[in-house]
Chain A
Amino acid sequence: MRAAAFDYHAPQTIDEALKILARHGVESRILAGGQSLVPAMTARHARPAHIIDINRIGQAERPTISGGRLRIPPLMRHIDFAGGAVDGPLGLLMADLSHHVSTLPVRLRGTFCGAIAQAEPASEWCLASVVLGAEMVARSAGRGGRAIEAADFFETIQTTALADDEMLVEVQIPLLPAYARHGFYEVTPRAGSFALAMALVVYDEDEDEMSDVRLGIGAVEAVPRRIPEAEALLNHRPPSKRLFREVSEAVADLVQPMDDEFADPVWRRALTRTAVARALERSLRRPLDSAERP
């Protein structure tokens, strides 16, 4: 349970990190929270020759808001979303999801951007970024920065659009309007385990109707994705049990569930239906203010 030998780099700035990354490319890995990377290294599934520890990079822990977007820096930890670091409906959504990320020790150390770059199918943050239309800001020493739409970012399990010399330096999420609601549900066999199916729905409460509906599923297919057919069914309709059931059935029919050790496709399809139905039901609950959170 000891990692294979590697060279350790501790850059003080992002530019410095990018230079090291440019030099070693695929031979190197960025270490942020280390909650996926370190276990993979100690099991020797991952054996990078160079570790670029970015934890000494300054001003990379606090989120900022500008241009109507929440901008998440590379060292913001999962736990930092729990206590209301972000205001408004988006803050409530992020706080809600943060409680579902793995276990407390992982939430204390692991980072949001790390989870995005890791691209686990069952990552709450990957699903959220797709549903909320996030933009991933990638930067390399040679080519500078570029923005990648969340929908284009995740390619398959643990594979993203990031090039070998690129680092995810920021994730930008558009703020939600004041009357936005969300509902999230994930099916996990055990506290802290990877979910077997999850769903996130976000919409604007428009009189009695739902509008600008966005609904996505995670942990079901190799990458999280929105389900436009479900969104079309929900848009400009008032919420009802009948509608929610119809939508959850429709989603379950549309997905192509993974087959793995933990769930066969038949069961996973059933779990998808449940996750969507329960996420929709939860969207009707009065959102808790972060101050009321235990």
Chain B
Amino acid sequence: MKHVGRALPRLDDSVHLEGRGRFVADIDIPRQLHMRVVRSNVACAKLINVDMSEAYHVPGVVAILTAEEVSHLRPLGVRLAPAPALDRFLQPVLASTMVRYVGEPVAAVFAESAAAAEDAAELVGLELAPLEAQTVPRAVEANPADPLRGNAAASVTKSFGDLNAAFHEADRIVEVHVTWARDAAMPMETRGIVADWDDARGVLSVWGPGRAAHWNRDALAAMLDLPRSAVVWRTPHVGGGFGAKGELASEDILACYGARLLERPVKWVEDRREHMIAAGQARDIRATARAAIDSSARLLALDVDVVIDQGAYVRAEGTMVADLVAAMLPGPYRMDALRAEAHLRLTNKTPAGTFRGAGRAEAAYIRERLMDEIAHRTGIDPMEVRRRNLIEPGAMPFERGTEALGCRVTLDSGRYQSLVDQTTRRFSLDVIRRRAQHRRAQGELVGVGAAFVVDASAPAGYEHVKLTVDRRGTVEVITGAVEEGQGLVTLLAQIVADIVGVDYASVRVTTGETVRIPFAAGSQLARSSVMVGTAAQHAAETLREKILSAAAAMLSIPAEKLTIQAGRIKQADRHFGTILDLGDLAAAMEPGRTMRTGPRGAGLEAEGFVTTSMMTAPYGLVVAVTEIDKDTGFIRVPEVYVGYDVGNAINPGLVEAQIVGGVVQGMASALSTTLGVTESGDPLRVNFADFALPTAREAPTVHVMLVEDSPSPANVLGVKGAADGGLTGMAPAVAAAIDDAIGIPGFVHHLPLTPSDIIQQLRARKPITFEAAAE
């Protein structure tokens, strides 16, 4: 049975459907303490004193740590896109003299029960002298209330070509100003960690969501002054990450440090309110974008300034979002010149981290809003404007002329025009547009909008996969990347099963355990299927060769006459007859057995390594339909059509699921989910009643067409990452569809757009069908 290319069920479906998953919160260790973090409830204040006297009276309290006790711990370092100049903006483990956002950790209480820890945390008295909070990024040098550090944490510039000449030659210059409010990844499982210090062996064992298990291991070792081998990171089941989980944060450091200091296991599980004020947030951009175009609406140059509200500190993600926004702005279009600047500015809000589609979603929003504006100014159909500017297949691989995360941005392969044609045909997009026009003529507010996106997946990096076979013939795949619900376990099993010749359901996949594999770069930026998948492919090929040559030696039959089917070694030219079970071969190859001939020694195992310098660039067309209730202003997205090329879909079912999930998340970000603060910096939404995640009723019907026209030349499988597809194009597609529905090009320049905004607009534009429709 062939596995790759088939929408096979996930191997862990039943575990999760039956509620048998084992997440961080399910892990309990005897003698464990529970940690509760005391957080600032003021956005900007001098921290004068922390009074713990009352808290220590709560029965069960063992210790309370403040900045004084952890002053020797360095601030959290930057993992992605580091820059030395960022050091003074890094978040301290605990606030010492200033608090800079509501939610900032000030103390950590360790107690015998979670309830006692919570009771005591409430009684820790914070003496704060409130100062004026800055809630909007400003260019001024520093917040006068917090003069010791500037507001401008970092700026990233990407450029190529002669910008002035291009704007000078331009037939027309088109400009947009767009903003997108704060949002954040909201995984069903919040953050959490369990840390256990074994003083006898000198080992710190950690269970936590580890999209970067190995980096976390090394960072913890450095921070706690331990050798690397003294830190063991294990990744239990993870209930979704989406960018908000897996980076080391203050809470993780405190739990690990506390476990070592107190010589008791420590458990910390974040509650939802904490997640909404303390976990990394995202988006929160304002941008000015100008395009220089010629008389036929061809792009000559883009000139873009983006201000990113970074919040109070820079965290492990460094300048990654700024870097990706600027680098990915040109997207799929040809142009002679670019200047894209992204500025990280500090405010008194929760620090920004990452959220699915990081940087690319923002870039797509800015760029595609600009493309729609060009269409409006020139009177050319929006899809035609895009089509005229798309890079043609003959130019691939195309050097974008920018770098992202230290890797050249290369559009590895793509048939962009063809994707537009195929998607248009497959979903009869012309009919969908005509139908919307017809309904508008009847007085309804219905619109269609599109966005073309190129994502960046798996930039430079390495990955390592190990395979072992035991006496039962079970193949184990070991990777440092993690299963977060995206389906990594299943797709690795599919890749390995085909090559080795076993059933995928019999393949065990071990993820995110640092003791099982020494190095790994982890799961982010849509890299798992590309990088880990490729390493698994290499490992499986090596394993197959080993199996066949060992069998050949044992059986005295030439290897080329042998094959492996369903875990049994057979003669290739015979339909029947097993010669050797894989398990028996593995047993014979174990150390201590004396095989007369063939390989011996370390058992049946193989490894695969991969390093790349070329990123992959999956791409897609996202088309959204919106319907607006003209009485209430409510915006519904009934249908979304996505054509997406991932090069090679190892499991089309998983890819489709990624796209559908991304579409719903992208729609929510464009229309409803937002994490604002008041003028004094107090969070407006701290629970799921206020933070309106869409339910099944609001979710659109998503029609997906997967295309495998352009396998990536960057890896042997031809795979491109699929994690962000669906999300990246939703904001601009929904924006364009709303413009279309109410008949005002460029109306949507702020997201999320609220029903109240719609009603105000409909009112302002008096002679509207509003009254007529009520007849």
Choose among B114, B118, B271, B698 the residue that contacts A191 (Cβ–Cβ < 8 A): B698
**Given A189-B634, A264-B756, A1-B697 contact (CB < 8 Å):** no
Q: Give every chain B residue within 8 A of A261 (Cβ-Cβ).
A: 684, 690
Among residues of A, the one whose C-beta sits closest to the C-beta of B274 is A1
Among residues of B, the one whose C-beta sits closest to the C-beta of A244 is B774
- Interface membership of A125, Cβ < 8 A: no
Tell me the residues in window 204-259 of chain A with beta carbons closer than 8 Å to chain B beta carbons.
241, 245
Q: Give every chain B residue within 8 A of A273 (Cβ-Cβ).
A: 631
Among residues of B, the one whose C-beta sits closest to the C-beta of A264 is B756
**Given A189-B692, A261-B684, A241-B273 contact (CB < 8 Å):** no
Choose among A43, A190, A194 the residue that contacts B694 (Cβ–Cβ < 8 A): A190
Minimum CB–CB distance from A3 to chain B (whole Å) comes to: 8
B694 x A267 contact (CB < 8 A) = no
Minimum CB–CB distance from A222 to chain B (whole Å) comes to: 18
A2 x B698 contact (CB < 8 A) = no
Q: Give every chain A residue within 8 A of B119 (Cβ-Cβ).
A: 4-5
Tell me the residues in window 1-57 of chain A with beta carbons closer than 8 Å to chain B beta carbons.
1-2, 4-5, 39, 43-44
- Interface membership of B759, Cβ < 8 A: yes
Tell me the residues in window 456-470 of chain B with beta carbons closer than 8 Å to chain A beta carbons.
none
Q: Give every chain B residue within 8 A of A39 (Cβ-Cβ).
A: 687
Tell me the residues in window 440-457 of chain B with beta carbons closer than 8 Å to chain A beta carbons.
none
Minimum CB–CB distance from A224 to chain B (whole Å) comes to: 20
Minimum CB–CB distance from B752 to chain A (whole Å) comes to: 11
B695 x A189 contact (CB < 8 A) = no
A277 x B634 contact (CB < 8 A) = no
A263 to B122, CA, bound (A): 32
Choose among A2, A43, A194, A267 the residue that contacts B114 (Cβ–Cβ < 8 A): A2
Choose among A4, A190, A191 the residue that contacts B672 (Cβ–Cβ < 8 A): A190
Q: Give every chain B residue within 8 A of A274 (Cβ-Cβ).
A: 631-632
- Interface membership of A113, Cβ < 8 A: no
B689 x A194 contact (CB < 8 A) = yes
Q: Give every chain B residue within 8 A of A192 (Cβ-Cβ).
A: 695
A261 to B683, CA, bound (A): 12
A271 to B697, CA, bound (A): 20
Tell me the residues in window 687-714 of chain B with beta carbons closer than 8 Å to chain A beta carbons.
687, 689-690, 692, 694-698
- Interface membership of B82, Cβ < 8 A: no
- Interface membership of B115, Cβ < 8 A: yes
Choose among B118, B692, B697 the residue that contacts A2 (Cβ–Cβ < 8 A): B118
- Interface membership of A158, Cβ < 8 A: no
B759 x A43 contact (CB < 8 A) = no
Minimum CB–CB distance from B754 to chain A (whole Å) comes to: 9
**Given A267-B633, A277-B774, A189-B755 contact (CB < 8 Å):** yes
A242 to B322, CA, bound (A): 56
A236 to B632, CA, bound (A): 30
A1 x B689 contact (CB < 8 A) = no
**Given A1-B271, A4-B119, A44-B122, A271-B698 contact (CB < 8 Å):** no
B692 x A187 contact (CB < 8 A) = no
Q: Give every chain A residue within 8 A of B672 (Cβ-Cβ).
A: 189-190
- Interface membership of B272, Cβ < 8 A: yes
B695 x A190 contact (CB < 8 A) = yes
B687 x A43 contact (CB < 8 A) = yes
Among residues of B, the one whose C-beta sits closest to the C-beta of A267 is B756
Tell me the residues in window 727-774 of chain B with beta carbons closer than 8 Å to chain A beta carbons.
755-756, 759-760, 774
Q: Give every chain B residue within 8 A of A271 (Cβ-Cβ).
A: 632
Q: Give every chain A residue within 8 A of B760 (Cβ-Cβ).
A: 266
- Interface membership of B430, Cβ < 8 A: no
Q: Give every chain B residue within 8 A of A4 (Cβ-Cβ).
A: 119, 122
- Interface membership of A270, Cβ < 8 A: yes
- Interface membership of B199, Cβ < 8 A: no
A263 x B756 contact (CB < 8 A) = yes
Q: Give every chain A residue within 8 A of B689 (Cβ-Cβ).
A: 193-194
Q: Give every chain A residue within 8 A of B631 (Cβ-Cβ).
A: 270, 273-274, 277
**Given A241-B775, A263-B756, A267-B755, A193-B692 contact (CB < 8 Å):** yes
A191 x B695 contact (CB < 8 A) = yes
Q: Give every chain B residue within 8 A of A267 (Cβ-Cβ).
A: 633, 755-756, 759
Among residues of B, the one whose C-beta sits closest to the C-beta of A190 is B692
**Given A2-B115, A44-B122, A270-B632 contact (CB < 8 Å):** yes
A84 to B774, CA, bound (A): 34
Q: Give every chain A residue within 8 A of B696 (Cβ-Cβ).
A: 191
Minimum CB–CB distance from B127 to chain A (whole Å) comes to: 21
A187 to B696, CA, bound (A): 17
Among residues of B, the one whose C-beta sits closest to the C-beta of A274 is B631
A261 to B631, CA, bound (A): 20
Minimum CB–CB distance from A205 to chain B (whole Å) comes to: 24
Minimum CB–CB distance from B668 to chain A (whole Å) comes to: 10
Q: Give every chain A residue within 8 A of B632 (Cβ-Cβ).
A: 187, 270-271, 274
A277 to B630, CA, bound (A): 13
Minimum CB–CB distance from B507 to chain A (whole Å) comes to: 37
Tell me the residues in window 251-289 of chain A with beta carbons closer than 8 Å to chain B beta carbons.
261, 263-264, 266-267, 270-271, 273-274, 277
Q: Give every chain B residue within 8 A of A43 (Cβ-Cβ).
A: 273, 687
Tell me the residues in window 656-705 of chain B with beta carbons closer than 8 Å to chain A beta carbons.
672, 684, 687, 689-690, 692, 694-698
One digit per residue, 1 when the CB lies within 8 angstroms of any chain B CB and 0 when it does not, for chain A 121-144 equals 000000000000000000000000
A106 to B118, CA, bound (A): 26
Q: Give every chain A residue within 8 A of B273 (Cβ-Cβ).
A: 1, 43
A266 to B759, CA, bound (A): 9
Choose among A1, A191, A245, A266 the residue that contacts B272 (Cβ–Cβ < 8 A): A1
A224 to B690, CA, bound (A): 22
A264 to B760, CA, bound (A): 11
Among residues of A, the one whose C-beta sits closest to the C-beta of B271 is A1
Q: Give every chain B residue within 8 A of A44 (Cβ-Cβ).
A: 122
Q: Give every chain A residue within 8 A of B697 (Cβ-Cβ).
A: 190-191
Minimum CB–CB distance from B546 to chain A (whole Å) comes to: 52
Q: Give every chain B residue within 8 A of A263 (Cβ-Cβ).
A: 756
A4 to B585, CA, bound (A): 61
A261 to B686, CA, bound (A): 13
Q: Give every chain B residue within 8 A of A264 (Cβ-Cβ).
A: 756
Minimum CB–CB distance from B700 to chain A (whole Å) comes to: 14
Among residues of A, the one whose C-beta sits closest to the C-beta of B756 is A267
One digit per residue, 1 when the CB lies within 8 angstroms of any chain A CB and 0 when it does not, for chain B 588-600 equals 0000000000000
One digit per residue, 1 when the CB lies within 8 angstroms of any chain B CB and 0 when it does not, for chain A 49-68 equals 00000000000000000000
12 interchain pairs, CB-CB under 8 A: A1-B118, A1-B272, A1-B273, A4-B122, A39-B687, A187-B632, A190-B694, A191-B696, A263-B756, A267-B759, A270-B632, A274-B631
Q: With A39-B687, A261-B684 given, name 9 new contacts (CB 8 A).
A: A1-B273, A2-B118, A190-B672, A191-B696, A266-B760, A267-B756, A267-B759, A270-B631, A274-B632
Return the 3 tightest CB-CB contacts between A and B, nearest first.
A191-B697, A1-B271, A274-B631
